[in-house]
């Protein structure tokens, strides 16, 4: 049950309008023909976080600005409906347990056959999903916020002439949903395509929690850190499955090269006590030699 906007330009326009109303830098919509799937949008330049960090920009400073965007985004609950213009509206669907379970199933369904050379046994798949059910049930109910889902350095643009959180340009948000606040933060800090040092990730998580504690009287840092560990593992299980599928089904082997990084994140996530049912499952069913680039020769 993947919840994706696909080619629906109305969804992009509606999310962009919602972000703009919050003072954030989504591309402005200059012209649109939604019936033909065409948009003319503002050019946010070429100072992409991933590129300028590689060229020597201050990584810690840029990531701190990205965290500030999330703090602003999480100031208000998610809207039920987003409106781009009169007559142009899009519902904001929930990123709920059903969607999460469908995503984590990608790991046994696609990665396990690639790694082992055989289908994942039905009993192992069933116990995997049961373990996820246990883990996800520990998440505390909280008011959902607008989550962008692909919030990472390749989708963030540096706009130094703007002020505050608007200095970060936002891209690739058309699949936004209503979900848990930790999701976009761990998307930023456990980036599939570039290494984020554990010390930097820890500092940014600490900065977020410190700011929320000072601002929001009902914020629980303990619950948020548990939420972050669970959602990080959930997201990484999904991505591991997707990267295996991109090779096996779509003939794109380059994505297999990202798997060691993803497994490094996953192993770190599994250290949290809330993840014990999953940690036990991975110990029993995914040997260390599979947690890298599978042999595809």
pLDDT digits (tens, 9 = 90+) for 234-250: 999 999 999 999 999 99
**Tokens 């900065």, residue located:** 207
Structure tokens at 244: 């295996």
295 within some domain: no
2 within some domain: no
CATH classification at residue 57 = 3.90.1200.10
pLDDT in single tens digits along all 297 residues of the chain: 444 445 678 889 999 999 999 999 999 999 988 888 899 999 999 999 999 999 999 999 999 999 999 999 999 999 998 877 667 778 899 999 999 999 999 999 999 999 999 999 999 999 999 999 999 998 877 789 999 999 999 999 999 999 999 999 999 999 999 999 999 999 999 999 999 999 999 999 999 999 999 999 999 999 999 999 999 999 999 999 999 999 999 999 999 999 999 999 999 999 999 999 999 999 999 999 888 776 654
24 within some domain: yes
| Contacting residues for 219 by C-beta, under 8 A, at least 6 apart | 209, 212, 213
Please state, in angstroms and rounded to a whole number, the distance separating the CA atoms of residues 109 and 113: 7
103 within some domain: yes
Please state, in angstroms and rounded to a whole number, the distance separating the CA atoms of residues 181 and 29: 27
Cβ atoms within 10 Å of 8's Cβ, excluding its own = 15
Number of domains in the chain: 1
Nearest Cα residue to 45 out of 153, 160, 150? 160
Q: Model pTM?
A: 0.91
196 within some domain: yes
Report whether 150 contacts 175 (CB < 8 A). Answer: yes
Q: Which domain holds residue 164?
A: 9-290
pLDDT digits (tens, 9 = 90+) for 26-83: 999 999 888 888 999 999 999 999 999 999 999 999 999 999 999 999 999 999 988 7
């Amino acid at each position: 049950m993947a919840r994706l906007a696909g080619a629906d330009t109305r969804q992009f326009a509606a999310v962009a309008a919602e972000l703009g109303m919050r003072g954030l830098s989504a591309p402005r919509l200059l012209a649109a023909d939604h019936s033909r799937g065409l948009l003319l949008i503002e050019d946010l330049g070429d100072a992409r976080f991933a590129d300028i960090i590689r060229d020597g920009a201050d990584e810690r400073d840029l990531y701190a600005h990205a965290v500030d965007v999330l703090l602003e985004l999480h100031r208000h609950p998610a809207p039920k409906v987003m409106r781009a213009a009169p007559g142009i509206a899009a519902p904001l669907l929930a990123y709920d347990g059903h969607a999460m379970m469908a995503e984590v199933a990608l790991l046994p369904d696609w990665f396990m056959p690639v790694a082992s050379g055989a289908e994942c046994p039905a009993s192992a798949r069933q116990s995997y999903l049961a373990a996820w059910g246990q883990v996800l049930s520990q998440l505390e109910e909280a008011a959902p916020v607008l989550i962008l889902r692909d919030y990472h350095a390749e989708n963030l643009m540096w706009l130094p002439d703007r002020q505050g959180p608007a200095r970060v340009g936002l891209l690739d948000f058309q699949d936004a949903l209503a979900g848990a606040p930790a999701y976009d933060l761990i998307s930023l800090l456990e980036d599939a395509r570039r290494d984020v040092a554990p010390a930097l990730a820890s500092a940014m998580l600490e900065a977020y929690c410190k700011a929320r504690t000072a601002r929001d009287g009902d914020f629980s840092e303990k619950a948020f850190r548990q939420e972050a560990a669970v959602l990080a593992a959930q997201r990484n299980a999904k991505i591991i499955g997707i990267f295996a599928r991109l090779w096996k089904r779509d003939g794109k082997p380059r994505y297999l090269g990202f798997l060691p990084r993803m497994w490094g994140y996953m192993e770190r996530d599994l250290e949290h006590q809330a993840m014990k049912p999953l940690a036990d499952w991975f110990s029993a069913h995914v040997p260390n030699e599979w947690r890298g680039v599978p042999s595809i020769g």
